[in-house]
Amino acid sequence: MTELVFFINQVVISGAVLGCIYALGAVGITLVFGILRFAHFAHSELMTSGAFFAFLLATLFASWGIVTPIPTGFVVLPIAMVISAVFALGIDKGFYAPLRKRGARPVTLLIASIGVTLMIQGLIRLFFGAGSYSFFETEIKEVFRIDLSAIGSTRPLVITEPQLLMIIVTVISVLVLHFFLTRSRLGKAMRAMADNPDLAQVSGINTTLVVRVTWVVAGALACMAGTMLALDVTLKPDLAFNIIIPIFAAAIVGGLGQAYGAIAGGLLIGFAESLAVFNWTMVLRPLNAILPETMQLPATLSFVPTEYKLTVAFVILVVVLLVKPTGIFKGASS
Amino acid sequence: MIQRSLTLFAGLFVLILVIGWAMGLPFTSSRLVEAAAYALIALGLNIQWGYGGLFNFGIMGFLMVGGFAVTFISFPVNAAFWGSDGPMMLGKALIAFAAAAILVIAARQSHRIGVRGRWKTALTVLAWFVGYCLYRSQLDPAAAYIETTGGGFVGGLGAHPLLGWLFGGVLAAGVAYIVGKVALGLRTDYLAIATIGISEIIRALIKNMDWLTRGTLTVSPIPWPTPLPQDYQATGSDQFSSLMLARGGFLVLAIAVLAIAIFLISRAYSGPWGRMMRAIRDNHIASASMGKNVTARQLEIFVFGSVLMGIGGAMLVSFTQIFDPSSYQPINHTFLIWVMIIVGGAGNNWGAVFGAVLIWLVWVVSEPLAKVIFEFVSYWSTNVGWGAIPEIESRSAQMRVFVLGLVITIALRYAPKGLIPEVVRRDV
């Protein structure tokens, strides 16, 4: 039983946490791709800046002396999401809209998004330096240890408070997104425009509004993902820049343009990463008793060494692009 | 058009003079050598993107391959490794690798003996898994042995650095061939993401294969192809003039390589081959219907461009004399080259060279410039009573990323074709 609990601690929980973050990031990327047809690289910076907005708000709250039962990062999240949504709208208006108006190709927009990435990253580093920050400088990060000796485990199940909240918040926001996309008029308009922009426009859908809503949703979700990543690890200027390719991998694995695919792809990549570096000897150790002396298991037995953890996502990405470029759920082809 | 190019190049020359006056000769001369190497790399990207329309975002990977190649060829021989059991164990790992490759190829050909559909897929996956385990089982002990008792790492071959540059090109071509075979069928933005992914894989491999590249421990000093400043000093020159002579020698060599590359590319591009490439870039469906083999031509151009990137990467490592895998960053080694091409003008060799030199100078100058500005503002704000700006040093170091983003944004908005745009002659 100890082995099973260890497996849950190492793979299921960390995979779910990573998967949630990837999924939320990938949904934004996939929505932008579906509506505007370009790979939005600056999404990583939307995530990082969203996390910094939340951090500033949390610092403000702490300086006002407001003490909250749950981590302040989660309390200020809605406000930070609104700020991020406005920020995303501003970026679109300032950088992408003029190019779109000129009729630039998607490739040009992709390069423009790299320019935006560099500018935001430069600004964040200008104001916050290159060091790292923590949401838990003034409050403590609660760790739940669930004693499982009743079922014969010597180890407790370990999950931190932010991790638990993170999974709950992700599930709620995915449900809200689902109902938004399937039930509301705007959500249906978004799906229509992703399927066929021309037809959507002729049917009287306000495409400008749809584009705006897309940026609002993408910015808000990016802020959520960035803040949660910063709550789980630490906040630094290259927080999301390092994981943007795994997030793209998640969006592509799920099929670009497919919101549900992005969630599935995010979870898949998250679990694959933590599974690939998992040390199987820890689970298979009881086998040592029945194996002969020469066949004893080595001390570490994992698919890939730990330093290649992020590489797993790239390998999955390349394999998926080769075997099934449209992804699990059939993605956009143009 | 020629007048405009000449004016721009004259302006660039004045800029170099100003930088030389403000920052001193030692700084400027080494930046110029690097600029020549970057110009070669930018030419490589110009072939891929400007001529072929291929979206390569994995430049960093090719630079690393070139850097590794020159390290391996020109670094002195590591006697401790060759005297140990290391070569034997590596040989076994190589045989295991070959066996694994044969296994995978055999599984892919299994349809010949009647294994089809789902069974073939399952067999292929199984072959990959078994082959991977086989390879790891031989490589892991060899790597551990070399890193601890077998001399630390494989070392070099002690050959001339110029051979290393050549090998950098060859190795980059080999990698590009595999990458191209794998990824070139994809559409533009998928290709961009796939090449980023592949370059990250290359980086992870080179960084963590300590037995081969020494990883984060870095390899130095890597010899120069031309005499070092120390060699001139040994003959009696004073410190400054020997530094200048040595740097000058390297610069002449770098510019010679660049000139040969430009000459060959321009010849090829103004001939039938170039017209075919333009046709494929602008309308690959029409060119395919004219009987051109689009896939093969695109692979060809991808490999050609990567050769230049490999040589350029090798030159950079040779010049800095240190191979440090952790110093490679997507911003410095992929996006920077893209900005050079976008600003200079895709499809025009002179535009690529101009963009490379200009953007490299902007990149290296923006840090000291930002520092001067910050110090001025800080002085002013201290006088007003708001206090000084904290940590000016580290803040100004970050400014160049912002400047790079600003430059690319402005270029896309106001000069989308670049400063020296492509010239398409319709009269021939």
pTM of the model: 0.90
Residues A142-172: pLDDT tens digits? 888 877 777 777 778 888 888 889 999 999 9
List all residues 6 or more positions away from A111 whose beta carbon is below 8 Å from its beta carbon.
Answer: B338, B342, B408, B412
pLDDT value, residue B68: 93
Among A111, A122, A318, beta carbon nearest to B194 = A318
A107 touches B at CB < 8 Å? yes
CA distance B359 to B352: 10
A114 touches chain B (CB under 8 A): yes
Which of A193, A173, A32, A194 shows the shortest CA–CA distance to A113? A32
Give yes or no for a contact between B363 and B356, defined as CB atoms under 8 angstroms apart. Answer: no
DSSP A187-217: HHHHHHHHH-HHHHHHTT--HHHHHHHHHHH
Q: Give the closest-approach CA distance of A126 to chain B in angstroms.
A: 5
Do A281 and A297 form a contact (C-beta atoms < 8 A)?
Answer: yes
DSSP state for residue A93 in the 8-state scheme = I
Side chain identity at residue B373, one-letter code: I
Residue A128 has pLDDT above 80, yes or no: yes
Average pLDDT of the segment spanning B242-269: 92
* Least-confidence region, from A132-136, A260-264, B275-279, B315-319: A132-136
Give the pLDDT confidence of B63-72 residue by residue, as tens digits. Answer: 999 999 999 9
Contacts 24+ apart (CB under 8 A), B226-232: B226/B250, B226/B253
B 363-422 residues with CB below 8 A of A? 391, 394-395, 398-406, 408-409, 412-413, 416
- Residue at B28: amino acid letter: T
Distance from the Cα of residue A219 to its chain's centroid: 12
Q: What is the mean pLDDT of residues B96-104?
A: 93
Q: How far is B391 from chain A (nearest CA, A)?
A: 8
CB B377 within 8 Å of CB B389: yes
Residue B210 backbone phi and psi in degrees, to 5: -60, -30
pLDDT at A333 over 70: no
What does the block give as tokens for B86?
């290391």
The yes-or-no verdict on residue B117 having pLDDT over 90 is: no
pLDDT at A320 (0 to 100): 84
DSSP string, B262-278: HHHHHHHHHSHHHHHHH
Interface of A with B in 308-327 (CB under 8 A): 308, 310-311, 313-315, 317-318, 321-322, 325
Q: What are the extents of the domains in chain A?
A: 2-242
A181's CB contacts (< 8 A; 6+ apart) are A187, A188, A190, A191, A259
User: Token pair of B279, please?
Assistant: 């046709």
How far is Cα B36 from Cα B403, in angstroms, rounded to an integer? 21
Residue A146 is predicted with a pLDDT of 79
* Angle of CA points B265, B267, B268, to nearest 5°: 65
Domain B2-78+158-414's class?
A: mainly alpha
Contact B395 A125 (CB under 8 A): yes
Taking the domains of chain B in order of start, what are their residue ranges? 2-78+158-414, 81-152
* CA–CA separation, A51 and A228 (whole Å): 8
Q: Is B141 on the interface with A (CB under 8 A)?
A: no
- Arithmetic mean of pLDDT, B221-241: 85
Q: Are A300 and B164 in contact (CB under 8 A)?
A: no
- Dump pLDDT digits (tens) for A68-123: 788 888 889 999 999 999 999 999 999 999 999 988 888 889 989 999 999 999 89
| pLDDT of amino acid A268 | 92
> Taking CB atoms and an 8 Å cutoff, what residues of chain B touch A251?
none
Residue B148 CA, chain-centre distance (Å), reads 31
Other beta carbons less than 10 A from residue A199's beta carbon:
11
